[in-house]
Amino acid sequence: MKKLIALLLFITTIWSCDNNKASDTGLLTVVTTTGMIADIVKNVGKDSVEVTALMGPGVDPHLYKATQGDLGRLQRANIIFYNGLHLEGKMGEVFEKLGRIKTVIPVARGIDSTFLLDDPIYENAIDPHIWFDLSIWASTISEVTSTLIEADPGNAKYYEENAAYHTNELLKLHEWVKTEIQKIPADKRILITAHDAFNYFGRAYDIEVRGLQGISTLSEFGLRDRVDLVNFIVERKIKAVFVETSVSKKNINAIVEGCRQKGHDVIIGGNLFSDAMGAEGTPEGNYIGMVMANVKTIVEALR
């Protein structure tokens, strides 16, 4: 951490000018933490912004540490967007320092607190996985839009039109997800994953969710947690559990084996995208494609 702070102090020194200068292309340069946030910026800004996501496919934001290369990207950015609910826990100090000299925006700051879920483990903490309720995630578009307009007022109408279109697309997808999840019989509508990333999804789309670890993959779990989850699966006769692309498979594999030893065969229903989207250029490499892929995987495995 001391080395990181020293790097930040160095970067602050060389930032004495050109802080708001656009890139060589004349476009706004935007850096985001996750791909989901980058996707919003791309849909609102389109060809008027250059967007870089620090955390690519398969990356766990809970464990992510900024590299020297990241600090260079952040230094060159006109705007930085991050989650704002301690998703990127190890980068909190970085954003605090950068916010003194640069536009650093938590996309969640405008969300009505009554829509947010508490962390069941840590007191006074909030579940940061808000992108799994599309109605909530759509509300972050306004934060991105107003920030882009403030930096580039000449394109205000363009950003507003793009934002309105993308908001409508997400709200339509929200209704599609509701319909799809209802295809799973009510007694089979139970989603079990490696960590508690899907609580907003469960509340929004009427599906019970269980995770082996807590909301953050930094949280610890013990033998009792594993035994309890195995017993739950066996008692409820759940036929499929799911791994996540950004979390190790070994713990879910241990759950499957534990169930087998108790005489209940449970399968791996597929890979779900939780804290990271798919590879760029694939259908799952954008937010809408990621959501659709998750829902199709869940429905096919559980119904």
Any idea what the CATH number is for the domain that residue 103 is in? 3.40.50.1980
Name the domain boundary from 151, 175, 199: 175
The reply to whether 108 and 168 lie within a common domain is yes
Tokens linked to 60: 């766990």
Which band of pLDDT confidence, cut at 50, 70 and 90, is reported for residue 14?
A: very low
Round to whole Å and give the CA distance between 154 and 132: 33
Relative orientation angle of helices 156-181 and 35-45, to the nearest 10 degrees: 130
Per mean pLDDT, which range of 2-16, 196-210, 255-269 is the poorest?
2-16
The reply to whether 143 and 272 lie within a common domain is no
The reply to whether 242 and 106 lie within a common domain is no
- pLDDT computed for residue 219 by the predictor: 47
Amino acid (1-letter code) at residue 170: L
Mean per-residue pLDDT of the chain:
89
The reply to whether 169 and 54 lie within a common domain is yes
Tokens linked to 208: 């019970």
Residue 9 has pLDDT above 50, yes or no: no
Name the domain boundary from 137, 155, 175: 175
Tokens linked to 153: 């007022």
- Measured at the alpha carbon of residue 295, what is the angle toward residues 57 and 237, in degrees to the nearest 5? 110
The reply to whether 151 and 200 lie within a common domain is no
The reply to whether 249 and 208 lie within a common domain is yes
Name the domain boundary from 158, 175, 192: 175
The reply to whether 110 and 201 lie within a common domain is no
Residue 225, burial from CB neighbour count under 10 angstroms (0-12, 13-18, 19+): middle
Round to whole Å and give the CA distance between 6 and 10: 6
Q: Which range of residues forms the domain containing residue 248?
A: 184-302
The reply to whether 37 and 144 lie within a common domain is yes
Q: What is the mean pLDDT of residues 44-64?
A: 94
Q: Are 272 and 290 in contact (CB under 8 A)?
A: no
Round to whole Å and give the CA distance between 39 and 91: 20
Number of domains within the chain? 2
Round to whole Å and give the CA distance between 210 and 233: 10
Which band of pLDDT confidence, cut at 50, 70 and 90, is reported for residue 65?
A: confident
Q: What is the mean pLDDT of residues 105-117?
A: 95
